[in-house]
Amino acid sequence: MLVETDSEIEADANSEACLFEADSEALIETDSKLKIDSEALAETDSEVEANLEACLREADSDALSETDVEFKTDSDTLADAGN
């Protein structure tokens, strides 16, 4: 039969307390890293959205310019045919 002494119980309690403290420190460190990563991702996401909007405006502008040129060409062709 195995009997634990008070000093063994106290040592076990101290060990558990040290493990809890070490785990807490690791979790706090991980939490801080996650917050930093989340902030960096939010910044990157905002930059990507801004770039995407700029690209879409540029593409729309290019498409509108092409369409405008086509309309002018068609109008010139129609004017020439009417003369």
pTM comes to 0.32
Write out the chain in H/E/C secondary structure. CCCCCHHHHHHHHHHHHHHHHHHHHHHHHHHHHHHHHHHHHHHHHHHHHHHHHHHHHHHHHHHHHHHHHHHHHHHHHHHHHHC
**Interval 46-83: pLDDT, tens:** 888 888 888 888 888 888 888 877 888 877 777 777 66
Task: Indicate the pLDDT class of residue 42, thresholds 50, 70 and 90.
Answer: confident
pLDDT at 3 over 60: no
